Amino acid sequence: MIKTLKKFGFIALLGFTGSACISVPIASAQGELLKRKTTEETILEKLRQARPDINFGEPRPAVIKGLYQVQVPGGPLLFVTPEGDKFIAGEVFGIDASGFSKIEDPYVIEERKKALASLNSKDSIVFKPKGKTKAVVYVFTDIDCGYCRKLHSQMHTYNEGGQEKPGYNDLGIEIRYLAYPRAGIPSPSADKLISTWCAKDKQDAMTKLKAGQTVANAVCDNPVAKQFQLGGQLGVNGTPALFLPDGKLMPGYLPPEELAKTLGI
């Protein structure tokens, strides 16, 4: 769940004044130009003045003309005015004759794809199909998250309402888990994830912990903190968070057959 942002007053920046046809030494004029801030710098300065405790992402033009977007790591995407004095937090939807559809910035999608492609598969905990892999989905997960546990319980064939249904792996979907302790680091949730990544049999440890069982505490060089930071940068603010091969983010749980349909397999 995205926590509601508290309202804070914004500190106004000093404006620049000037007029044509005045005598200004060239060196002085050049110095003034160097002092002028870009729109992105102005926005970032205003946000940091209002909330110095937040490490805001870099501003860039948004899909809504005239606004800029700034990602709050582990929080919402902000759509900010060029003056940096107002913002809207949330998602953008397009409107057409067929209804509403979520719009994501192509630049952001491409950056996600690059970030995930750069990951070493050895740093993720992988659950592969026995047969051919038709699609790879990265899932930022937490051990104690209820829907994370539900997702994991449906990795293979499962029973629902007395009916046997195919799991993610059965449908050719390879799940690559990345760590995202919702309580942050340090926390008991983070400790469980670290123990999972440091276990001799990572898949077995993940399955046991997701089923409410215990595993031996373990410590080692692990990617949990790095992956938690990456998740925040990519827009993760809850778990499970599913990243599809095309770079789109699907926040929340999706049943295996629904995910397969979304993937087009």
Q: From 96, 22, 107, 4, select the one nearest 62 (Cα to Cα).
A: 107
Q: From 164, 162, 143, select the one nearest 152 (Cα to Cα).
A: 143
Alpha helix ranges (H) inside the chain: 26-35, 39-50, 106-117, 146-153, 188-198, 202-210, 224-233, 256-263
Q: Which of the following is catalytic: 148, 149, 176, 198?
A: 148
**149 is a catalytic site residue:** no
Q: Which of the following is catalytic: 112, 144, 145, 198?
A: 145
**198 is a catalytic site residue:** no
Q: Given the structure tokens 């397969």, which residue do they identify?
A: 260
Buried b (16+ CB within 10 A) or exposed e, 120-129: eeeebbebeb
Q: Given the structure tokens 């002028």, which residue do they identify?
A: 36
**220 is a catalytic site residue:** no
The residue type at 206: M
Instruction: Give the pairing of strands 68-71 and 60-61.
Output: antiparallel
Q: Which of the following is catalytic: 144, 170, 182, 191?
A: 182
Cα torsion 14, 20, 23, 29: sign: positive
**246 is a catalytic site residue:** no
The total of other beta-carbon atoms located within 10 Å of residue 251's CB is 16
Q: Given the structure tokens 């215990």, which residue do they identify?
A: 214
Catalytic center residues = 142, 145, 148, 182
